[in-house]
Structure 1
Amino acid sequence: MKMNKITQAISTVALVGMILPAMAEEEPTGWFVGAGGGASFASIAESDITADLFAAGFETTEFSENDRDFGFKLFGGYQFNPNFAVEGGYFDLGSFDYTANTNPDGSLSGALKFSGWNVDLVGMLPLSDRSSLFARIGVHNGRTKASFESSGAVNVQTSEYRSREVDYKIGVGYQYHLSEAVSLRAEVERYRMDDAVGNSSDIDLLSVSAIYRFGARQQSAVETPPAARTRTQTPAPAPPVAATQEYCSALEIQFEIGNENIERANREHMLVLARFLTKYPQTKATIEGHTDNVGNEADNQRLSQQRAQSVANYLVSEHDVAVQRLTAVGYGETRPIADNRTVAGQQANRRINAVIDCAEDVAGLSTLPARTTLAMRLEFDTQDSAVNTKYHRRLENIAKYLQLNPDLIVTLEGHSDNATPATAQEKSQTRAQNVADYLVTHFAVDRSRLNVEGFGATRRDTYNVTASNRQENRRVNIVLGYPE
């Protein structure tokens, strides 16, 4: 009967884990390890102990117990989706003891220690993109070690007791993500254990745990503002008259590794910049190019100049901005805005800043807002091209947005990691095409509104050093925009 209840509870948690993903924010998946510790509380079976003494002809005159200790656990697991994980590990719930004084004069003392191995199913309910509630149900192979001592008239027949048995454990708690890689938990768990006097009793563990997720990008939970730039924009002069308002515009776009080409999403952003420059023909702009610190310093200097010049050339050729109004300057790796020791920091430092003169306009600025752009990432496993169902909700939102905005089109850009050029190109094209087919099949998106492009391994987001880096490069970007 006990095992049937355990099986039913495990099935319930598994069912919840399959139902809840549609309600959840996206969270990290994959392997993780953790460790925790805290206060443990045992239920000492005082009534059973005194009853056994009474049956042997002794009246208990005083009973004292130490039912608290420090417990800890070491664990690892796999997060399948935002709502379901499996964990297993080792636990040590600590040591507890009691002493019973008797009449006739004597005493009985017992010391107990509990530990074991466990496997749990964990169901999670996200409260936000960083926090969630969770519950667990599991089984454990628990070990009870007990030793007994007596004095006076009391005689102990067995001084040592050892047992192992399979029983259940449950728990509830709260989890907070400090970053994509590191999380903290506070939880309470109840372990059902052999109490060495013929019963099963409860031992509770109130613990705080730290978790590390493998393959996650390091990013602080509290975003630290980028370091102040040496130059952000030309200071605005005081308005000459009360009716005059001043407007400044600035552009910041990022580049892929070793690439000076301008991505589609960035071209959308530069349209607003071009409109600003067209509206205010007296203004000038300095295009500043920057890189990360990976590679040769001289090469980075050259690459930053090329990136700045690419933006200037684009504004001239595509938007008819006068060349004499644009100055391209490369700063190489000398002006980082983020920590180059992290992948995210390197990507932030591969950028272009456009520093633009302020303009005066009594009537007010009337340039159109930026056209809708979205570089939504869908990541893939090494040899996989199928669309993961975890992206279903986000793709459904894209489809709904397209229904509300019939003038928008979608470009699906497929990318790969460091496979051979032919394989990478084929795989990237297939991934992008599969996303297009998914939108058509599941959400009836008009295929004529979907453009599919494969770029192979030519547009990396990160360096292909680790498995996590390579997975970031295996992606499809979804870019929304208007027809040219």
Structure 2
Amino acid sequence: MKNLMIRHDCSSLLAVNGCLLLMLSFNSLASSETDYKANGWHVGINLGQSSAKIDGDSIKANLENTGFDVNALNQDRHDQGYKLYAGYKFSSYFVLEAGYFDLGRFSFNANTLPVSNYTGRTGVKGWNLDLVGILPISDSWSVLARVGVTRNDTKTRFSSNGLINTSVNNQDNSYTKHKFGLGVQYDISDAFIVRLEAERYRMDDLVGNDGDVDLYTLGVVYRFGSRQPQPVPTTTPEPLTRVATEQVTQASPVIPEPEVLVLEDVHFNFDTAELNNDTKVMLRRHATTLKANPKARVRIAGYTSASGSAAYNQALSERRAESIKAFLVSEGINANRFKTIGFGQRNPAKYEAKPSALQSDAAKANMRGLFEIIIE
């Protein structure tokens, strides 16, 4: 007897297609930023409401075909559900998550004549592996889409007062299905995220019918290692220091040993090593200071923001350092007094929580050239 049935909703196919299209759009965006591991490992827990689709019409028809009049069919299609998961963010836009879920228990009770006390109950739990695409829409908000496979464990039990033989339908079953979902998330801090998600888990009832269970949850995610250590100054033969622009306004007299000159950092626009007019004015002041201090040698270190690949950023940082050197040489400073080095995106001045936010204060702070002045 077909006792407990869950309908296959054709709209789920449309939802799968929409989810896959959103995944493809994430992939096209991710191609512009490679080799960037934003946050690494994380764990999370989601709690919420689950909802099953019980095919009451089929249950009623089966009972009537066996000689029962069905006065009412009471359904309990909702329960609490949860999921526990761990994940790894392997690019700016993609995460792999694995976890355990429990969708709850669902049941029905048929009010029949003759009185049968006919009841069915089923529960669904299991394991999943998901590919999650995450698209930032602001500094704190992101949308996400997921597609995954599940290993479902279902347990179904039927009972009556003896008028219906239910023992043949009591089964435990395990099988592989798929799932998909959409959601939004909000970054509370570097370490904690809040997620709101809607997911659809495909499942079988135990009489060979396809169906699904929807899970709507609110969750919290903890990211490991999202806070990066403060940059460590590069070791030099003598101490170095940096100050704001207004502290270097005119040529300094020759500074006796072991004092150290003070020069301001130079900042660049995104993805360029070109000097703008304001930067050239600042470097001319630096050139005047260096001319007044002929014993001073300079190491110019170039840096970049976190956006882009490590190899590209390394080359860009070297070009930035060379650009500063070339300008100072053109202002009459001997080239032998300079040494240049590029650090790429290493040792940032500020941690960039979202490398894709190219105009953030952290990104602008990291696109720089640093002066290290040594008095011999």
* TM-score normalised by the chain length of structure 2: 0.65
Alignment-derived partner of residue 94 in structure 1: 104
Alignment-derived partner of residue 280 in structure 2: 407
Q: Does residue 479 of the first structure (1) align with residue 361 of the second (2)?
A: no
Cα distance in 2 between the residues matched to 1:6 and 1:141: 21
Cα distance in 2 between the residues matched to 1:142 and 1:407: 65
Aligned letter for 2:368? V
Pairing partner for 1:19 from 23, 28, 31:
28
* Cα distance change, pair 449–88 in 1 and its aligned pair in 2 (3 A): farther
CA contact (8 A) 1:180 1:218 kept: no
Q: Does residue 397 of the first structure (1) align with residue 285 of the second (2)?
A: no
Alignment-derived partner of residue 453 in structure 1: 341
CA contact (8 A) 1:171 1:190 kept: yes
* TM-score normalised by the chain length of structure 1: 0.52
Aligned length: 301
Cα distance in 1 between the residues matched to 2:47 and 2:97: 16
* Cα distance change, pair 431–103 in 1 and its aligned pair in 2 (3 A): closer
Q: CA RMSD in A?
A: 4.6
C-alpha deviation, 1:480, in angstroms? 4.0
* Cα distance change, pair 7–446 in 1 and its aligned pair in 2 (3 A): farther
* Cα distance change, pair 255–42 in 1 and its aligned pair in 2 (3 A): closer
Aligned letter for 1:453? I
| SS of match in other structure, 2:247 | helix
Alignment-derived partner of residue 357 in structure 1: none
Q: Which moves more between the two structures, 151-160 or 108-117? A: 151-160
* Cα distance change, pair 47–12 in 1 and its aligned pair in 2 (3 A): same
Structure 1 runs of 4+ aligned residues shifted over 4 Å read: 4-14, 254-260, 400-406, 408-411, 430-433, 436-440, 445-451, 459-462
Give CA-to-partner distance per residue, 1:320-343, whole Å, 9 cap, x none: xxxxxxxxxxxxxxxxxxxxxxxx
Cα distance in 1 between the residues matched to 2:131 and 2:313: 35
Cα distance in 1 between the residues matched to 2:151 and 2:91: 27
CA contact (8 A) 2:39 2:225 kept: no
Aligned letter for 2:240? I
Pairing partner for 1:71 from 74, 81, 86:
81
C-alpha deviation, 1:448, in angstroms? 4.7
Aligned letter for 1:479? R
Pairing partner for 1:204 from 206, 214, 218:
214
CA contact (8 A) 1:115 1:142 kept: yes
C-alpha deviation, 1:64, in angstroms? 0.8
Cα distance in 1 between the residues matched to 2:120 and 2:43: 35
Alignment-derived partner of residue 195 in structure 1: 205
Map of 1:267-286 to 2, 5 A cutoff?
267=243, 269=244, 271-275=245-249
C-alpha deviation, 1:29, in angstroms? 3.0
Cα distance in 1 between the residues matched to 2:155 and 2:94: 34
Q: Structure 1: 5+ residue runs without aligned partners? A: 220-253, 279-311, 320-370, 375-394, 415-429, 463-476
Answer 1 or 2: which has greater helix percent: 1
Q: Does residue 168 of the first structure (1) align with residue 56 of the second (2)?
A: no
Map of 1:26-175 to 2, 5 A cutoff?
28-151=38-161, 153-175=163-185
Give CA-to-partner distance per residue, 1:367-417, whole Å, 9 cap, x none: xxxx7744xxxxxxxxxxxxxxxxxxxx98241864787838895448xxx
Aligned letter for 1:397? F
* Cα distance change, pair 432–140 in 1 and its aligned pair in 2 (3 A): closer
Map of 1:225-264 to 2, 5 A cutoff?
256=233, 261-263=239-241
Aligned letter for 1:399? T
Aligned letter for 1:16? S
CA contact (8 A) 2:302 2:320 kept: no
Q: Structure 2: 5+ residue runs without aligned partners? A: 1-9, 253-257, 284-298, 304-310, 329-338, 351-365
* Cα distance change, pair 10–131 in 1 and its aligned pair in 2 (3 A): closer
Cα distance in 2 between the residues matched to 1:401 and 1:74: 49
Give CA-to-partner distance per residue, 1:413-441, whole Å, 9 cap, x none: 48xxxxxxxxxxxxxxx99864446889x
Aligned identity (percent) is 31
Aligned letter for 1:28? A
Higher relative contact order (CA 8 A, sep 6+): 2
